[in-house]
Structure 1
Amino acid sequence: MFERPQLQTTRLKKNKLHTSRFHPTFGAQVLGEGRTRFVLWAPGAHRVDVEVEGLPSVTMDQADDGRVTAEVACEHGARYRYRVFDKDDEQGSLVPDPAARAQAGDIDGPSVVIDPNNYQWKNADWQGRPWHETVLYELHVGTLGGFKGVRQHLPYLAELGVNAIELMPVSEFPGARNWGYDGVLPYAVEASYGSPDDMKALIDEAHSYGLMVFLDVVYNHFGPDGNYLANYAGAFFREDLVTPWGPSIDFRQPMVRRYFIDNALMWLEEYHLDGLRFDAVHAISEQDFLVELAGTIRTQMAPERHIHLVLENEGNTASLLNQQQFTAQWNDDWHNVMHVLLTGEQEGYYSDFVDNATPRLARCLSEGFIFQGHTSRHGHSRGEPSAHLPPTAFVAFLQNHDQTGNRALGERLSMLADADSLAAAEVLLLLSPMIPLLFMGEEWGSTRPFLFFTEHNEELAQAVREGRRAEFADFSAFFDEKSRERIPDPNALTTFEASIPDFAARETSPFAACLHRYRTLLALRHQHIVPRLPGAEALGAKVLGDKAVLARWRMSDDTQLVIALNLGQQAAATPGLGVGQLLYETTEGAAKATESGRMPPRAAAAWLRHTPGDEEVSA
């Protein structure tokens, strides 16, 4: 049985983390001695009252910067709302606190005062792990049974060989079923997943297993239901700029920037998270906000802690990727070209990766991004040169929530790709110097779908249902209306239930063989790749033939990591590789045949070379 690798984990001095550097600008702030201060940014309101259950309402004081404040005799657990008045409105409107740490029920329920020091940490001295050690495992908290349900899987994940779990967004959203990207209260933990203390207990226990915890946060839009900010803080949004989700958030406003920067600091300080993944930052109009966000986090965090900031950014802005700003970026280019090579699909965003797919993969392995100022299918260029960045600046993945769940039927690669070719691709994913990310269930080749699911009110549910089906009208498999009826209803409970991973099947046939392969490859990564990653650099990748490449990296101890991959149906001619230490081959004899000059189809092999040889590989 594979044993969890005993990688180095450094810790802070005892109780160091109990002293928070974070002082929130907004929300309910517990002052002690039975008093709480409430702060709301409401520049468009004539008057705001805070109404704490069981107490008389209190009219809040107005400041010149648009904030309103009040102190009330209440403490942790108190329920409250704001009543916002227009100039000619005598009744006012009740709204939740947009900076509430929790809600009593759903988005329209009362907000709850949360004392961030209420939870007593068992691993308060946890410092985290260096980035180069990271193997990410993305999961959806709701499909695993909430925070307590995720905790039950921690021993398995630690034994598997991942050392970081990445939670899809957990901020309060409408209903109890959602991917999390429809969140409307970014500070509040989704009530159906558990309480803030439940989330902290998950993170605390993960740290005891040596697992880091990352959170996906959404700063580019709010969901379509339950966002009341426009009612009293119209300046939060721009009228002149519209995103796919509605009016753009106005990051020109200092208070808007502060709202999201504070949110990031809250997750890192109060919840002891190890990192954040920032969703679709290319949709943020003021890109200098990203620089301010990262700079503030780096300044505020204790220097001893390992804090990792990861981007999703269609813009491929390589200049943001340095240790003073962002640690890494999800490399969609890597996924997209691999998906084309594995499945032959050409529609949608995959169309950008069909022509010269194999040379594009070689560029990706050599330089990080494929699009580095190149023109996309939309006719505009995107990306910046990235060859100067280390391989660890890129997060590679074969599957994630987006590329699986945004398919009409939510199929995983296990249902779309040849099994031998997929096993070969896994070698490149798990043994290359890029940081690998797995999506829950991938490691045993689960055949269950991951679908798009929601729990909206019926009017919005109908709009989402129709929009979802219209989205795929241009795809060949869904040209006619009858075929689109096969697309699952996002709002149906059965759609959510179908997306629950079948963990119980992982040790059974035929899934056990795939799980064993992942365990073996992850063990090899921790033993042979991770210790050599700091300072590793790409030496280049060579096209061997259709869907076949040979890539090399110089590691920190001057050994060479060599990976040969052939996803094609024909054998590929290979140059002489010299003698090396074989790490892994997908089929018996594949490495020897490759070393002899002819790599078998649908195969991969990886070596470490300890002797001098050719170090340059022409692309």
Structure 2
Amino acid sequence: MSIVRKIGAHYQAGRGTTFTVWAPKASQVELALQSPATKKIPLQREAFGYWTALEEEAGPGTRYMYTLNGEKDRPDPASQSQPDGVHAASAVTDHGSFPWADQQWEGLPLEQLIIYELHVGTFSGEGTFDGVRKQLPELKELGITAIEIMPVAEFPGGRNWGYDGVFPFAAQSTYGGPEALKELVNACHAHGIAVVLDVVYNHMGPEGNYLNEYGHYFTHRYNTPWGDALNFDDAHSDNVRNFFYQNALMWLRDFHIDALRLDAVHAIYDTGARHFLQELREHVTQLEEQEGRKYLLIAESDQSDVRLINPINQGGYGLDAQWFDDYHHVIHTLVTGERDGYFEDYGKPEQLQKALEHTFVYNGLYSEHRKKTLGTDATDNPASQFVVCSQNHDQVGNRMLGERLSQLVSFEMLKAVAGLVLLSPYVPMLFMGEEYGEENPFLYFVSHTDKELVEAVRRGRKEEFSYFASKGVAPDPQSEDTYLRSRLQRSYMTNEKQGKLREFYKELIRLRKTSPALARPDKPYMQVKLEEEKLVLHLIHTGQEPHLYCLFNISNQTQQATLLPAAAGTWKPVLHSADTAWGGPGAEMPHSLQAGKSYTLPAAAFIILEQETK
């Protein structure tokens, strides 16, 4: 593996703090202490452009910057705390003193994850880590087994999705900083909930980004939507790679995070013999051996490439799982009828059956939207390696008006879509508020302090949606109102219909967790048949007895469905989405059904049948 070197400020009780920074561009680096006393300490230059010094009097909370070449004071690129924002001094943290109470926690395997994606700033009224912590009993009661937190790396201001972070090691100060994040993780584990953290290793935000003043963090070799690419394979790249390896290890080791969701890995440009992602997996494997537990790496990619998740000894990168966008796109186009943008590649009914049986829809097929052949075959990869959803921050927030699915389809169709996700063989993920049909949008918002940057973001947003002029004007991303409109209302407590939808999600989750047929769902243990003209889906889980027969009508018309000949035996209904208990119009529940027998399914509805066993 490449160079391994600790960076940042590392405090040890009784010894002080060791400061280490990679600054090969500097001819002189000084530690500029700002509190409790003001003084400057020269750093010693070491191999590969690292500078270091031990300061015995610097303890937790000490504010500091680095003076480069006797001229500029800049925050630490590997700062673990930015209490006053991206332009101010860094602060020393103490990882050794936190009172962890999760010693018995061993994490959860992929197949047990029911993920809930949330944005810290809009999930609660407080908009903080503590606000999330207070809602954990609600999530546990729903049946959630993991939360996925959108990026928390320090970004400018207090409003941002998190993808403009410029201090990857520092938990956002306005969310509560590093100690509050640890308290949240500690509480999650006490509730039996795993924590997935979204990290961004494909670009850095624009405001407060001082990396170029320190070293060769970027390369001109690749053009990206954010400018020069991060340097993973050019000269000096070993040390840039080390920067991000150390970041990943810090979240897992010092914050007890269970899994990392790696943002848009297709935008990590690396043509070297050992890809950054492969080496990241190897570093995390070493940490697993040291800590005696498993950590998960989950990639986001739009390339439909199993190389990400295939074992290293088979030419893969060895990651544990990846997001599976095809499933979202197939469902979304079938239930909404939308075909704009990348949705033009979807909307064909047969794609739903293919996504269930073979995973990737584009598995070596020509993509009309991309004008090229796309994808690999994932048929033999376990279903637990793929995370699916019907909504997420991208698919909702990148719409001009941020509409959730609750604004695009009927109430009954919301339940049908929930069934397609939670009864699939894949790892299900919900987007915050989905479980009760939240009606507030999730919009794109920022709070930059650079006026020129603010105007550039506004112009870019308007240009991006110029062809949607008939639908109105894109909300101002800098406006606080845009941010406040994106907060959850939690109206299910007063809205009866929303309350029933939440109870429906709760029951589906319970069935997924307790039904023997869904204990380890996978593609080889399923029978799938889609009646394309009717949009009637037969999904039979046969992993363990009693088997489950999930019969969906995802059309907007009543349909007659006949149980498949292969469905031997007698089947008893256990749940009907149209039942009045779930806010539905009511449905006649059959006493039992058998293969070859027909049943009338209401529009946008499904029924779950359990096989009678002797």
1:239 aligns with 220
Whether the aligned pair in 1 keeps the contact of 2:322 and 2:386 (CA below 8 Å) is yes
2:84 aligns with 105
- Residue among 409, 416, 435 paired with 2:401: 409
- Deviation track 1:516-558 (CA, whole Å, cap 9, x = no partner) reads 1111111111111586207663545222123332233431x36
Whether the aligned pair in 2 keeps the contact of 1:241 and 1:247 (CA below 8 Å) is yes
- For the pair 1:266 / 2:253, whether they are aligned, the reply is no
> Structure 1 residues 395, 274: closer, same or farther in 2, change over 3 A?
same
Output aligned runs, 1:440-459, within 5 Å: 440-457=432-449, 458-459=451-452
Deviation at 1:263, TM superposition (A): 0.7
- Deviation track 1:174-211 (CA, whole Å, cap 9, x = no partner) reads 11100000000000010000021111011101111111
Partner SS for 2:205: coil
- Residue among 267, 276, 279 paired with 1:292: 279
1:338 aligns with 331
Partner SS for 2:222: strand
Whether the aligned pair in 1 keeps the contact of 2:165 and 2:205 (CA below 8 Å) is yes
Output aligned runs, 1:240-255, within 5 Å: 240-252=221-233, 253-255=237-239
- Provide the rounded CA distance (Å) in 2 between the counterparts of 1:541 and 1:250: 45
Gap runs ≥5 in structure 1 = 1-22, 86-90, 613-619
- Provide the rounded CA distance (Å) in 2 between the counterparts of 1:334 and 1:599: 26
- Provide the rounded CA distance (Å) in 2 between the counterparts of 1:506 and 1:169: 29
- Deviation track 1:561-604 (CA, whole Å, cap 9, x = no partner) reads 43222211341543344423434221333776896335523221
Partner SS for 1:138: strand
TM-score, structure 2 as length reference: 0.89
1:181 aligns with 163
Partner SS for 2:441: coil
> Structure 1 residues 413, 488: closer, same or farther in 2, change over 3 A?
same
Opposite residue 421 of structure 1, the aligned amino acid is M
Whether the aligned pair in 2 keeps the contact of 1:400 and 1:439 (CA below 8 Å) is yes
- Residue among 207, 217, 221 paired with 2:199: 217
Whether the aligned pair in 2 keeps the contact of 1:545 and 1:573 (CA below 8 Å) is no
Whether the aligned pair in 2 keeps the contact of 1:590 and 1:599 (CA below 8 Å) is no
Output aligned runs, 1:62-461, within 5 Å: 62-73=45-56, 74-85=58-69, 91-143=70-122, 144=124, 145-233=127-215, 235-252=216-233, 253-286=237-270, 288-302=275-289, 304-322=292-310, 325-354=318-347, 357-376=348-367, 377-457=369-449, 458-461=451-454
Opposite residue 106 of structure 1, the aligned amino acid is G
- Provide the rounded CA distance (Å) in 1 between the counterparts of 2:72 and 2:306: 45
Deviation at 1:426, TM superposition (A): 1.0
Question: More deviation in 145-154 or 523-532?
Answer: 523-532
Output aligned runs, 1:586-601, within 5 Å: 586-587=577-578, 588-589=587-588, 596-600=597-601, 601=603
Partner SS for 1:128: coil
> Structure 1 residues 512, 115: closer, same or farther in 2, change over 3 A?
same
Output aligned runs, 1:492-507, within 5 Å: 492-507=479-494
- Provide the rounded CA distance (Å) in 2 between the counterparts of 1:529 and 1:239: 54
Partner SS for 2:459: helix
Q: Give the number of equivalent residue pairs.
A: 575
Whether the aligned pair in 1 keeps the contact of 2:517 and 2:548 (CA below 8 Å) is no
CA RMSD, aligned part only?
2.2
- Deviation track 1:138-176 (CA, whole Å, cap 9, x = no partner) reads 111112220111111011110111111111001100111
Partner SS for 2:538: strand
Question: More deviation in 361-370 or 376-385?
Answer: 376-385
Partner SS for 2:298: strand
Opposite residue 241 of structure 1, the aligned amino acid is Y
> Structure 1 residues 529, 184: closer, same or farther in 2, change over 3 A?
farther
State percent identity of aligned pairs.
Answer: 36
- Deviation track 1:343-400 (CA, whole Å, cap 9, x = no partner) reads 111101111113xx21111100111121212222111222211000122111111111
- Residue among 33, 40, 44 paired with 1:61: 44
